[in-house]
């Protein structure tokens, strides 16, 4: 059963077996927490809920970093707290719901579909999680997915990066977007400009310190540069079959877009 562990004071991380997925809990000082991207299996979520209640904690709100099936999960045991996401992300959970449900059923069946993907859009100009717990700044961009929101906690220096800056996954572009590469680079630039990052927690992979944060920024930027160069290349993180397939698709997509819009 997955359990939370303390990353730094007031910030807990639990890691699921499925795709090394991280759930983050940000604690307030009254026994409440903000729960970011709780995942992944039914048993995982039961474990998270039991661990929280066993520690006298309750989820005051949920937050989904982006509109992919493995980041918009919830269970009755976690309570009926509001669950937020950026407006661009919430739109996708509506328009792409059927596809997300099929992916869910294939990879992590048994969830309550009434709770799956039901998110409240933050105001368009909202730049932090709306609560009176520790400040939680949102860094919203369209890299990886529309309305992708990293969460930065200035008090603890923790950057919850969503599905970027991973040590075990290559950058995964939103290949159906108009400018997937530009969107991703814009997202990386925003993350790279966040001052005072002491910890980075990716959606999938391992938490890293400040030096590791900079290393991953560079690794992701380098991956994008190599995509643009258009020659086949390897990335040490590209170890799984599904990722190799995505990698090949990204090479093709970037080459196609370059052909359509020559510089």
Q: How far apart are CA 72 and CA 165, in angstroms?
A: 20
Give the nearer residue to Zn ion in terms of CB position, either 60 or 68: 68
Q: Is 60 or 216 the residue whose CB approaches Zn ion more closely?
A: 216
3-state secondary structure 211-248: HHHHHHHHHHHHHHHHHHHCCCCCCCCCCCHHHHHHHH
Cβ proximity to Zn ion: between 203 and 205 the closer is 203
Least distance CB 125 / Zn ion (angstroms): 26
In the sheet where 120-121 sits, what is the strand order?
Answer: 5-8, 11-16, 21-27, 32-36, 58-63, 83-85, 120-121
Among the residue ranges 109-117, 161-169, 193-201, 213-221, the one whose residues contact Zn ion (CB under 5 A): 161-169
Q: Between residue 41 and residue 80, which ones bind Zn ion under the rule CB under 5 A?
A: 70
Write each residue from 207 to 246 as x if it is in contact with Zn ion (CB under 5 A), else as -, in one continuous string.
----------------------------------------
Of the pair 27, 140, the CB lying nearest Zn ion is at 140
- Judged by beta carbon, residue 69 or residue 199, the one nearer Zn ion is 69
Residue 37 in the binding site for Zn ion (CB under 5 A)? no
Q: Exactly one of 47, 203, 205, 208 binds Zn ion (CB under 5 A); which one? A: 203
174 binds Zn ion (CB under 5 A): no
Residue 163 binding Zn ion, by CB under 5 A: yes
Find the binding residues for Zn ion in span 13-32 (CB under 5 A): none
**What is the tally of helices (H) and strands (E) in the chain?**
6, 12
Q: What are the contacts of 121-128 at 24+ separation with CB within 8 A?
A: 121/84, 121/85, 121/86, 121/87, 121/89, 121/90, 121/91, 122/84, 122/85, 122/86, 122/87, 123/87, 124/87
What is the contact surface with Zn ion in residues (CB under 5 A)? 70, 163, 203
């Amino acid at each position: 059963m997955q359990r939370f562990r303390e990353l730094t004071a007031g910030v807990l991380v639990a890691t699921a077996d499925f795709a090394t997925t991280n759930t983050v809990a940000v604690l307030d000082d009254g026994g409440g927490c903000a729960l970011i991207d709780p995942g992944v299996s039914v048993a995982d979520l039961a474990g998270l809920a039991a661990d929280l209640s066993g520690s006298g904690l309750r989820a005051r709100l949920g937050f989904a970093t982006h509109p992919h099936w493995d980041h918009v999960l919830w269970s009755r045991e976690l309570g009926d707290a509001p669950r937020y996401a950026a407006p661009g992300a919430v739109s996708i959970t509506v328009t792409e719901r059927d596809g997300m449900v099929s992916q869910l059923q294939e990879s992590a069946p048994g969830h309550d579909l009434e709770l799956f993907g039901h998110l409240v859009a933050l105001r368009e100009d909202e730049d932090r999680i709306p609560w009176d717990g520790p400040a939680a700044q949102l860094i919203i961009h369209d890299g990886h997915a529309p309305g992708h929101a990293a969460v930065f906690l200035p008090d603890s220096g923790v950057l919850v990066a969503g599905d970027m800056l991973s040590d075990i996954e290559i950058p995964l572009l939103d290949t159906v977007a108009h400018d997937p590469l530009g969107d991703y680079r814009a997202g990386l630039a925003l993350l790279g400009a966040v001052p005072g990052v002491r910890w980075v927690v990716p959606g999938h992979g391992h938490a890293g310190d400040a030096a590791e944060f900079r290393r991953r920024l560079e690794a992701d930027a380098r991956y994008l540069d190599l995509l643009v160069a258009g020659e086949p290349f390897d990335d040490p993180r590209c170890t799984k079959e599904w990722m190799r397939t995505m990698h090949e698709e990204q090479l093709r997509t970037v080459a196609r877009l370059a052909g359509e819009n020559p510089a």
